[in-house]
Amino acid sequence: MDKVSIIGSGNVGVSAAFYLAEKGVANIMLIDIAEGKAKGSALDLAEASPLRGYDISIDGSSDFKDIKGSKVVVIAAGKVRKPNTLRLELLDDNVKVVDSIIEQIKKYAPKSIIIVLSEPVTALTYYAWKKSGFDRLKVMGMAGKLDTTRVCEYTAEELGVTPVEVSAIVLGGHHKFMVIPPDFVRVCGIPVTELLPKTKIKKIISDAREAGTTVLSLLKSQTSMYSPGAAIAETVEAIVTDSKAIMCVPTCLEGEYDYKATCLGVPVQLGKNGIEKIIELELSLQIKEELQTSADVIKKTIESLGI
């Protein structure tokens, strides 16, 4: 069975481990530099296995050498937002965290696929690619799946349908300029534009863009953990099971959508090799303009990293 390492055993990292354990598709190694933190969380999860029925290995460590042999390494470490702060404000601190982790991945898991969660995720995904020297299709971010599921939930609430009947696509960055094309939000294949008036669709898009901030403002002392944890698990599962699932992920682009030397959330097909296909959609002029705005924000952030 494949091994998946999750670096950072905070709320999101442990939630991801739990959802992944429930799927039973990979052995799990939690890593945290705080002595005992990852080991304790792993033990807690393992002790639930007789009740939840997952038959996998779950372990924790403070030593990076224990990521050796990982098929996937998830970077879920670093500072998180506090109320009234922006994701971009985490850049200076989290680039140092990601930098140190990349060196450990290169040393102990050089053949792994990297999934970045640390904020600002899109810029740090690009940074991780450049610093690792990995194939760009083996380095991706985790944001598009999270943003997509939020769009689906808000759409389902508005229509009174089950969320599993709703699908969506989210492009660009994981910020207030994320691009949510209404024509690609569908319920049982029916475009939401045929089911709801423009005013309600605009509200769904606005709510989805601000979803993380809304949760943070309510919880105050912590950010979202269940939804991003579930999104990580879905992304990892697609890779380790070679399912060829199509989902939106921050992807390092070299010509796709006419963008180079940047990272944007776009739909891709995932499999055992990581990103196996980047899907280029036909976009309307309005959506292209929105995507350009989103890309400009990310480009400026990447340029500030000096890479």
Active-site residues, by number, are: 174
Looking at beta carbons, which pairs linking 36-39 to residues 24 or more positions away fall under 8 Å?
36/62, 37/9, 37/62, 38/9, 38/62
| Cβ contact 116:141 at 8 Å | yes
**What letter would DSSP give residue 305?**
T
Contact by Cβ (8 Å): 21, 59: no
DSSP-derived pairing of the beta strands 274-278 and 260-271: antiparallel
Give CA 94 to chain center in angstroms: 16
Q: Which residue has the tokens 């990995």?
A: 134
- In whole angstroms, what is the distance from residue 211 CA to residue 213 CA? 5
Phi, psi of 253 (to 5 degrees): -100, 140
**Rounded to whole angstroms, how far apart are CA atoms 6 and 107?**
16
Give every CB contact of residue 3 below 8 A, 6+ residues apart in sequence: 26, 27, 28, 29, 69, 70, 71
Contact 248, 169 (CB under 8 A): yes
